Each structure stands twice: as C-alpha cells, then as structure tokens.
Amino acid sequence: MATAFAPGKCILFGEHAVVYGHPAVAVAIDAGVEVKLETSDKWEIKNDHYSNNFEEFQASKNPHIQHIIRNVFDYNGLPLKIKIKSNLFSSAGLGSSAALSNAMGAALHQLINPEDEINQIKLAKIGHSAEASAQEGRASPTDSATSSLGGCIVVSGEKDEHLNHVFDTSLTTPEGNREWSIHSVELHKNIKDSWLVLGFTGRAAPTGDMVSGVAERLKQKPELYAEMQAIENITKAGLTALELGNLEAVGIAMNSCHEKLKILGVSSDSLDNMVLATRHHSFGSKLTGAGGGGCMVALTNDPQRVAQEIELCGGQPLISKFGSKGAHIKKE
Ligand code: PMV
C-alpha cells in the first residue's frame, strides 16, 4: 500500500501574462489531493468527490492517472485499487489535476520502490507530462511545479539570475517548442504568518477558453500588449514585497494586478463583487488563475471575516496558509 498527498496552488501574480513569456508567482496551498494505492485482483477507482463506491477503472475517464501508469512507469504489476480524496474545488483554477497527477506519481513510485521517496523535480516533470498529455500538449508547468516543490514558485520564460533557479523544462506543443525556468522563493516570516482566503464563484471557466479569449482580444487591440508588460512590472514589485514581508505592498500589487486582468477581459461580476467585498478586511485581493469564473484570493490577517464576506457574496471560501509543503508520502 502507498499513500501520497499533493497540494493545490494559487497564482498570486502574472496569470495570462505567463502565457506570453512574462513571469508568474504561485504558492502551494493547504488543500490538495490524496491518492492511496493498494494492489488488488481487479482495477478499481473511487474519487470521494464524486462517489461513495469503487468503480471499474476506465482509462478514458482518468487520462492523468492512465498516463502515469502506462507512459511514465510502464507498470505491469498486480491491478490497483485507487482511492482519491480531494478538498480542492475542482475546475476552479486551484491546480486540482496537477495535484492529482503528482499524488498519483508519488504514490506509484512509492509502491514500486518502497525504500526510495521520489525526487521533487522528477515528480514535477511527471505531473507536467500528465497534464500535457490530457490537454492536447498544452500545459504550463506552473501547477505541477508548485504542487511538487511546495512553497512559493516563480515560472518564467527565461532564467532569472536574482532568484533561486531550481530547474528548466520544455514541452513540444501544437504551436511549437516552449521552454520555462522554475525558481523558488523564500517567503518572509510576516508572509508565512498571514493568511490567504480563496473564494470560489461556483462557476468553472475552462482555462483554454479564457486563454484563447485573451489571444483574440490582443489580435483586435494590439495596444493590450502593454498591459502584459504592466503585469510583469506588478509581478516583480509583488515578488520583492513577498521577500521583504511587506504585506501592504503585496496587497497593493494584488489590487493593481486585478485591475490589469479586468482590462484583459478575464474578470466577471461575481469575481469583482468578491474582490471588492473582501478588501475591507484584507491587504489586497484579486482574481486568481484563468478568471471568467473560478476563484479570487485575498491576503489577510483576519481570515474568518474575509471568509464571511465571500459567503455573503454567494461564494465558497477556503482558508489557507502561505506556501504549504510540496507533494509527499503519507506514512500509515
Ligand atoms: O486555470 P489556472 O489557475 O491553472 O490558471 C491558468 C493560468 C493562465 O496563465 C491563464 C494559463 C497558463 O497556462 O498559465
């Protein structure tokens, strides 16, 4: 038997601009996905999110898991009983599919090699390959790297000499070869002592549609490219504030980032309502991830009040510490 947990993620700065080579900053959150594997006499799966019973494992319904079993590990052992537990909102921009892929990769590695915990960089690459294979070759490594490494991660189109460089990765996409550098950032104690409160609108908005919407608007109005550069400047200011532990400055950068994302056309009325309502009790707030629906995030020292504001707006809150531990094996 082997059990692994991998956290979800929240993008603090740089969503959408990262698609065009600008940097993005993401942190691992407390909520995530647990995968438990047991050998059995038949292939079975249960996801607590959707069902109380084990069902026959179907590759087409579980593309990330299938990719890891067949293409990554080429597993030929006894059939597996796969149990999935998640406390992430799904299709909400919190990286649930990367967390699932990483937890599955770590658990299967542990089952096959019980004495040897998997390397976090190798796991991030496994998670990224599972996401790419399930999304027709298009996936940024942001979710898989943040979930595997934990803490605070910067993903950019090129190596940043000022940051702690962890690894580089590339992917052949239908649009050509793409390369990314992954860096880690040490968070200041003030930041670690504060709280993130996420608010789910209850509406899933497919990331692919939001990304192609931005591409379309850029074609119509090329002057919007200036907003991408503005997001990069905000991201860099936000990053410095995170390193210095200046909560007010992180909050101001979050607010500015939200305004830029609104100009790119990726916010919605419900995101704007929650973002504005939570500002009374937070340092700053913004939509996080692809937008359209999905989630917003607020930085605060008063998480219960912020969670209440989110509920009053009709959203579902999730309170998290900053930069949780990355994917790991759970000892029984
Ligand atoms: O849906 P999410 O939270 O994984 O956000 C996607 C972030 C984008 O920048 C919009 C897309 C990407 O591939 O980075």
Which residue has the least CA distance to atom 11 on ligand 1? 16
CB atoms within 10 A of CB 190: 15
- Residue 135 scores a pLDDT above 80: no
- Residue 138 scores a pLDDT above 90: no
Distance (Å) from CA 131 to ligand 1 centroid = 12
Structure confidence by residue, pLDDT tens digits, 205-222: 888 888 889 989 999 999
**Per-residue confidence band for 140, with pLDDT thresholds at 50, 70 and 90:** confident
**Per-residue confidence band for 6, with pLDDT thresholds at 50, 70 and 90:** very high
Domain boundaries, the chain: 2-329
- Residue 332 scores a pLDDT above 80: no
Distance (Å) from CA 15 to ligand 1 centroid = 6
- Residue 83 scores a pLDDT above 90: yes
- Cα–Cα distance, 39 to 48 (Å, whole number): 19
What integer pLDDT is reported at residue 311 of this predicted model? 98
Instruction: Return the closest-CA partner of residue 35 out of 98, 91, 114.
Output: 98
What backbone phi and psi angles, to 5 degrees, belong to 134? Answer: -85, -15
- Which residues does ligand 1 sit against, CB inside 6 Å? 11, 15-16, 18-19, 93, 95, 140, 142-143, 207, 211, 289-290
User: Alpha carbon of 55 to those of 4, 50, 103, 105, 108: distances in Å?
Assistant: 21, 11, 20, 21, 19
* Distance from chain centroid for Cα 261: 18
Distance (Å) from CA 142 to ligand 1 centroid = 8
* Global confidence as pTM: 0.94
Atom of ligand 1 nearest to the CA of 214: 10
What integer pLDDT is reported at residue 262 of this predicted model? 97
Structure confidence by residue, pLDDT tens digits, 34-56: 999 999 999 999 998 888 899 99
Distance (Å) from CA 135 to ligand 1 centroid = 13
> Can you state the angle between helices 225-244 and 247-263, rounded to 10 degrees?
170
**Per-residue confidence band for 59, with pLDDT thresholds at 50, 70 and 90:** very high
Q: Which residues of 35-64 are buried (b: 16+ CB within 10 A; e: fewer)?
A: bbbeeeeebbbbbeeeeeeeeebeeeebbb
E strands, 147-202, are 152-156, 164-173, 176-185, 195-200
Distance (Å) from CA 53 to ligand 1 centroid = 32
Give me the mean pLDDT over the 113-138 stretch. 89
Please give the share of the chain, as a percent, with pLDDT higher than 70.
Answer: 100
Phi-psi region of 176 (alpha: psi -120 to 50; beta: other; left: phi over 0): left
Residue 185: strand, helix, or coil: strand
Atom of ligand 1 nearest to the CA of 139: 13
Structure confidence by residue, pLDDT tens digits, 144-174: 999 999 999 999 999 999 899 999 998 887 7
Atom of ligand 1 nearest to the CA of 17: 9
User: Alpha carbon of 32 to those of 1, 12, 145, 269: distances in Å?
Assistant: 20, 17, 14, 27
- Residue 137 scores a pLDDT above 90: no
Give me the mean pLDDT over the 178-189 stretch. 94
- Residue 195 scores a pLDDT above 90: yes
What integer pLDDT is reported at residue 331 of this predicted model? 85
Q: Pairing relation of β-strands 44-47 and 80-86?
A: parallel
Distance (Å) from CA 156 to ligand 1 centroid = 13
User: Alpha carbon of 112 to those of 35, 117, 118, 327: distances in Å?
Assistant: 15, 10, 11, 17
Q: For domain 2-329, which architecture applies?
A: 2-Layer Sandwich (3.30)
| Both tokens assigned to 271 | 């995101």
Atom of ligand 1 nearest to the CA of 93: 3
The answer to which of 95-109, 133-147, 211-225, 269-283 has the lowest mean pLDDT is: 133-147
* Residue 70 CB-half CA count within 13 A: 9
Mean of all residue pLDDT scores within the chain: 94
Distance (Å) from CA 207 to ligand 1 centroid = 6
Structure confidence by residue, pLDDT tens digits, 227-281: 999 999 999 999 999 999 999 999 999 999 999 999 999 999 999 999 999 999 9
Which residue has the least CA distance to atom 4 on ligand 1? 93
Question: What residues does 118 pair with on adjacent strands?
Answer: none
Q: With beta carbons less than 8 A apart as the criterion, state whether 22 and 3 touch.
A: no
What integer pLDDT is reported at residue 132 of this predicted model? 87
